[in-house]
Amino acid sequence: MSLQITPISPALGARVTGVDLSLPLSADHHQQLHQALLDHQVLFFRNQPLQPASQARLAAYFGDLHIHPIYPNVPEQPEVLILDTERNDLRDNALWHSDVSFLKTPALGAVLSAKQVPPYGGDTLWASSSAAYDGLSEPLKRLLDGLTATHDLSKSFPESRFAVTDEERSRFEEAKRRNPPSSHPVVRTHPVTGRKGLFVNEGFTTRINELPELEGDAILRLLFSHATQPQYTVRWQWQKDDVAFWDNRITQHFAIDDYRPQRRIMHRATILGDAPF
Ligand SMILES: O=C(O)CCC(=O)C(=O)O
Ligand SMILES: [Fe+2]
């Protein structure tokens, strides 16, 4: 059985039908999903209710799963983290980021399942880092070649908001100890497709290591705004039981925070990747 894959935006994003994600994947569907992810960078599925165990099983076809140091998780399935506006401070997802880029081996991708969504609002945007790189001028590409940048967990999880109670503080200190800042190339090569993409993000990138602060900050600001121009993005309007599966090596995303005080609940399984080069 072939999947039906329908692109929904020129830069990235496709809708996929013809598969039941709650069941074990056939080798054929696994291969087709993998290829579709490489081709389209973010895949969207409607009407795919997933229990935490089947969500983790689906994600684990693509690599080892990450257990998040700060977000709460489903107790019986700790690889599935909970993004619930009544439990978490999620303001930092309303900022362009690629997930856990502060790790030495940031996420390959993630599977996000919509559990409860407002009737409208709470859309999520993704941007293609390869489209953004391709759109840079040649002189700027030459300047960036060979530069590295620092990615720091504390930028998106500031102590002032994530270490308020004693319990939060000890969890936060532990998270910082286990996750010191990492350095990654500013231009990353996708390990499978060989495509180049910008690998800096407003959520976690703090500096360009080889440049003085003033120059580095100005270049980072330029890259953050260049990479998230509308023509490099796709926007998804969620319905309950939608699933999004993105390649975190070559995209970043932004969850719009425009629906309060309504509640919104998402579950995420995060797949570990390799060290960027
Ligand atoms: O809530 C969303 O739509 C996405 C949140 C997010 O940044 C993530 O799950 O990685
Ligand atoms: Fe995210």
Tens of pLDDT, residues 91-149: 878 999 999 999 999 999 999 999 999 999 999 999 999 999 999 999 999 999 999 99
Nearest to 131 by CA among 268, 26, 228: 228
- Span 60-82, mean pLDDT? 94
Find the 26 Cα to ligand 1 centroid distance in Å: 28
Higher-pLDDT residue of 162, 64:
64
Specify the residue with its C-alpha closest to ligand 1, atom 1.
Answer: 255
CB neighbours of residue 272 within 10 Å: 18
| Beta strands 14-17 and 42-45, pairing class | parallel
| DSSP code per residue over 79-142 | EEEEEETTTS--GGGSS-B-TTTTSSS-EEEEEEEEEE--SS---EEEEEHHHHHHTS-HHHHH
CB within 6 Å of ligand 1 — which residues?
Answer: 83, 93, 99, 110, 112, 124, 253, 255, 266, 268
* Cα 256 to averaged position of ligand 2 atoms, centre (Å): 11
Ligand 1 nearest-atom number relative to CA 83: 1
Per-residue pLDDT averaged across 58-81, rounded? 94
Mean pLDDT of 245-273: 97
* pLDDT tens digits for range 33-58: 999 999 999 999 999 999 999 999 99
Q: Which residues are catalytic?
A: 97, 99, 253, 268
Structural domains of the chain, ranges and CATH numbers in brackets: 4-272 (3.60.130.10)
- What is the pLDDT, as a whole number, of residue 222? 98
In this prediction, residue 172 has a pLDDT band, given cuts at 50, 70 and 90, of confident
Region 183-204: what's the mean pLDDT?
98
Asked if residue 108 lies in contact with residue 272, where contact means CB atoms within 8 angstroms, the answer is: yes
CA distance 237 to 230: 16
Determine how many CB atoms are found less than 10 A away from the CB of residue 254.
21
Pick from 19-28, 79-88, 228-237: least confident: 79-88
What pLDDT, on a 0 to 100 scale, did the predictor assign at position 89? Answer: 78
